């Protein structure tokens, strides 16, 4: 059965253009519209009857609940999602939960009252209990978790954080570092736990074990990374490299190193995670494990809208591969450290 993507390919246009021609949600040049209609006829494309029937009752609005849109990583994810949704004629209503479960539930009720067609949740409390409440209050509402592990019966889109942790450990070990500290997110933070699992695996593969005296838990903020780094750098035997599980905490580590008179990377190497836009403009520019925030958001929008428009099933998990981005904040162990 032909899909909207087949029609777009045949007509030589984007999926969003096909959607606008079908739904009349935006002006499309007559010649382009004709190409689309010809392709629909040739391929015998017919949007799913149920989906089209429901389309009439659609608001073409997606709802999103995030921990804090002030975090640059979350902001980049939101931008990717909103841009992809807009291309398909959908708008986005955003709520910040500040990782407060009660506020998260009130956010959901507010979004539900606005008859959203689909829900995206990117918080640390996107657990089964919350999803059961959503199902009870909005049976069958299409929903998707972002930056989260898969939950029973709910699609999740996230980076492969275990792989990201291993990449970070492998880089620093490969540079010759052996006293590697890591600053994780809060205990329940699933992404951090996966990164730590990967970090430990990376050390294990090199015949090493995690030195628990070099592990600190923080809160994914600059202040948290700064405080954790001051503790680590005050140890009798301080680390020669720090792997922070997000770039915001790595910014705090850079500040702490500067205060302690440690040049980066000569006296201390620093590795982050996320590759937020700021990372490339720090002094020195931050080496990091990139998870493509924009792609995460765009993929979430595409999956939900394809599900709504085509009734295409939502997969259990879409895991996007992270990649290393080498910049000036990671060097080699100094002769003293060696
Ligand atoms: O900066 C926020 C961090 O927490 C990111 O690494 C993202 O994965 C989120 O879980």
Nearest residue by C-alpha to atom 10 in ligand 1: 191
Tokens 């074990």, residue located: 209
Q: Which two tokens stand for residue 145?
A: 């978790």
> Which residues are near ligand 1 (CB < 6 Å)?
71, 73, 147, 191, 220, 246, 248, 273-274
Q: Rounded distance, CA 154 to CA 62, Å?
A: 16
Strand-pair partners of 165: none
Share of the chain above pLDDT 70, in %: 95
Instruction: Provide the pairing of β-strand 269-274 with 287-290.
Output: parallel
Helices then strands, each counted (H, E), the chain: 12, 12
Q: List all residues 6 or more positions away from 203 whose beta carbon is below 8 Å from its beta carbon.
A: 169, 173, 180, 209, 210
Rounded to the nearest integer, the mean pLDDT of the chain is 92
Q: 280, 253, 278, 248: which is closest to 268 by C-alpha?
A: 253
Q: Rounded distance, CA 245 to CA 195, Å?
A: 7
Superfamily classification of domain 4-47: lambda repressor-like DNA-binding domains (1.10.260.40)
Answer whether 181's CB lies under 8 Å from 213's CB. no
Calculate how far, in angstroms, residue 248's C-alpha sits from the geometric centre of ligand 1: 9
Q: What is the pLDDT of residues 74-133, one digit of tens each?
A: 999 999 999 999 999 999 999 999 989 999 999 999 999 999 999 999 998 888 889 999
Residue ranges covered by each domain of the chain: 4-47, 61-159+293-321, 161-292
Q: How far is CA 238 from CA 171, 200, 231, 313, in A?
A: 19, 19, 9, 51
Calculate how far, in angstroms, residue 191's C-alpha sits from the geometric centre of ligand 1: 7
CATH for 61-159+293-321 (3.40.50.2300, 2.60.40.10, 3.40.50.300, 3.40.710.10): 3.40.50.2300
Q: If 0-12 CB within 10 Å is exposed, 13-18 middle and 19+ buried, where does residue 234 land?
A: exposed
The pLDDT assigned to 334 comes to 72
Taking the CA of residue 189 as reference, the ligand 1 atom at the shortest distance is: 10
Q: Rounded distance, CA 167 to CA 172, Å?
A: 9
Taking the CA of residue 185 as reference, the ligand 1 atom at the shortest distance is: 4
Nearest residue by C-alpha to atom 6 in ligand 1: 246
The pLDDT assigned to 338 comes to 46
| pLDDT over 70 at 49, yes or no | no
Residue from 159, 185, 221 whose mutation best tests the ligand 1 pocket (most atoms within 8 A of CB): 185
Residue from 147, 252, 320 whose mutation best tests the ligand 1 pocket (most atoms within 8 A of CB): 147
Q: Rounded distance, CA 35 to CA 8, Å?
A: 9
Q: Which has the higher per-residue pLDDT, 176 or 25?
A: 176
Calculate how far, in angstroms, residue 246's C-alpha sits from the geometric centre of ligand 1: 6
Q: What is the pLDDT of residues 51-79, one digit of tens each?
A: 555 556 789 999 999 999 999 999 999 99
Q: If 0-12 CB within 10 Å is exposed, 13-18 middle and 19+ buried, where does residue 220 land?
A: buried
Q: Which has the higher per-residue pLDDT, 182 or 337?
A: 182
The pLDDT assigned to 48 comes to 61
The pLDDT assigned to 51 comes to 56
The answer to whether the 4-47 and 61-159+293-321 domains have the same CATH topology is no
Tokens 């500067």, residue located: 258
Q: Give the domain 161-292 fold.
A: Rossmann fold (3.40.50)
């Amino acid at each position: 059965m032909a899909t909207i993507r087949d029609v777009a390919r045949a007509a030589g246009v984007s999926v969003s253009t096909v959607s606008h021609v079908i739904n009349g949600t935006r002006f499309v040049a007559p010649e382009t519209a004709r190409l689309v209609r010809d392709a629909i006829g040739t391929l015998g494309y017919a949007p799913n009857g149920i989906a089209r029937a429901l389309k009439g009752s659609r608001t073409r609005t997606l709802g999103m609940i995030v921990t804090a849109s002030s975090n640059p990583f979350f902001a980049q994810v939101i931008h990717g999602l909103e841009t992809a949704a807009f291309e398909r004629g959908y708008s986005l209503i955003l709520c910040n939960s500040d990782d407060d479960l009660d506020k998260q539930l009130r956010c959901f009720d507010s979004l539900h009252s606005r008859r959203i067609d689909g829900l995206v949740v990117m918080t640390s409390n996107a657990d089964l209990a919350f999803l059961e409440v959503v199902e009870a209050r909005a049976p069958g509402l299409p929903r998707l978790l972002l930056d989260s592990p898969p939950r029973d019966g709910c699609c999740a889109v996230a980076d492969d954080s275990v792989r990201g942790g291993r990449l970070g450990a492998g880089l620093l070990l490969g540079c010759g570092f052996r006293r590697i500290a890591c600053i994780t997110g809060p205990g329940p933070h699933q992404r951090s736990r996966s990164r730590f699992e990967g970090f430990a695996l990376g050390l294990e593969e090199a015949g090493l074990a995690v030195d628990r005296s070099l592990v600190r838990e923080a809160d994914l903020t600059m202040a948290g990374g700064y405080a954790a780094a001051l503790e680590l750098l005050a140890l009798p035997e301080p680390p020669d490299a720090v792997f922070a599980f997000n770039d915001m905490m790595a910014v705090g580590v850079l500040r702490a190193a500067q205060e302690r008179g440690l040049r980066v990377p000569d006296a201390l190497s620093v590795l982050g995670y996320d590759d937020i836009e700021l990372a490339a403009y720090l002094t020195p520019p931050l080496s990091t494990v990139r998870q493509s925030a924009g792609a995460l958001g765009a993929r979430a929008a595409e999956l939900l809208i394809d599900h709504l428009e085509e009734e295409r099933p939502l997969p259990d998990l879409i895991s996007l591969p992270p990649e290393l981005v080498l910049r000036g904040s990671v060097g080699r162990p100094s002769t003293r450290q060696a």
